[in-house]
Amino acid sequence: MFYPTVPPRRESAPRKRGAAPGPGPRVALVADRETAAGTSDPYARGVTGPRLVVIGGLPGTGKTTVADELAARVACPVFNKDRVEASLRNDGVTAEQGSWTVAENLLTTLAGEQLRRGQSAILDTVARVAASRAAWRATAEHAGAAFRLIECVCSDPARHRARIEGRIRGIPGWAELTWDDVESVRARWTPWDDERLVLDAVEPVSANVAAALRYLE
């Protein structure tokens, strides 16, 4: 499967004191941002001010794991689209009535309220539609906040399938996804051309989280 990534362009600006490059995960930064290793505390490494972080990708690529780990480190909430949509379904808003669209609109509202208060937020959602990603970017810009987009992938199809078939999320009112569901989403998937960080689920979670923290700077 094609993922349109290019290596990051290294700028001539000096690296922060105490930061040193080292071996990292197999990730691709689709941007011309500088990434540098540093301390484990994001605020000590310049992650200041509100940020809207959108973590997208096909089901089963590790979005929620990365989102939860990041949230614990930068002390901000995660708004998960499936949990929001499941709540809508439980209250009678069906897929035929547009529960998916309503859920994404609610994510936009929740993120906007967080940013309005000067607080960061993480959105955990497939983010398949370019218009949704553009709306979230515009929400961040309107609030004067930084916007960071992360795409999670899994380059090993067998491992990807095993991840789907072996997980139990236990979201009330939300069916556990099957591999057929993933293939259905993939069939409607349009490769992203947004500026973003790409994380591969074949890498250790700790390495992907470290790369994401660097990207938040």
21: in domain: no
pTM of the full predicted structure?
0.79
10: in domain: no
DSSP state of 8: P
Token code pair at residue 4: 């349109």
> How many whole angstroms separate alpha carbon 198 and alpha carbon 32?
14
pLDDT digits (tens, 9 = 90+) for 168-204: 999 988 889 999 999 999 999 989 999 999 999 999 9
Looking up residue 55, the CATH number of its domain turns out to be 3.40.50.300
Number of Cβ atoms within 10 Å of the Cβ of 105: 14
DSSP state of 52: E
81: in domain: yes
Q: Name the pLDDT band for 49 (thresholds 50, 70, 90).
A: confident
Q: Is the dihedral of CA 86, 89, 91, 97 positive or negative?
A: positive
> How many whole angstroms separate alpha carbon 216 and alpha carbon 64?
17
Q: Which domain holds residue 177?
A: 42-215
144: in domain: yes
For residues 202 and 154, the answer to whether their CB atoms sit within 8 Å is yes
13: in domain: no
**Which pLDDT does position 19 carry in this prediction?**
45
DSSP state of 74: H
Mean residue pLDDT across the chain: 83
Q: Name the pLDDT band for 123 (thresholds 50, 70, 90).
A: very high
20: in domain: no
How many domains does the chain fold into? 1
> How many whole angstroms separate alpha carbon 126 and alpha carbon 81?
8
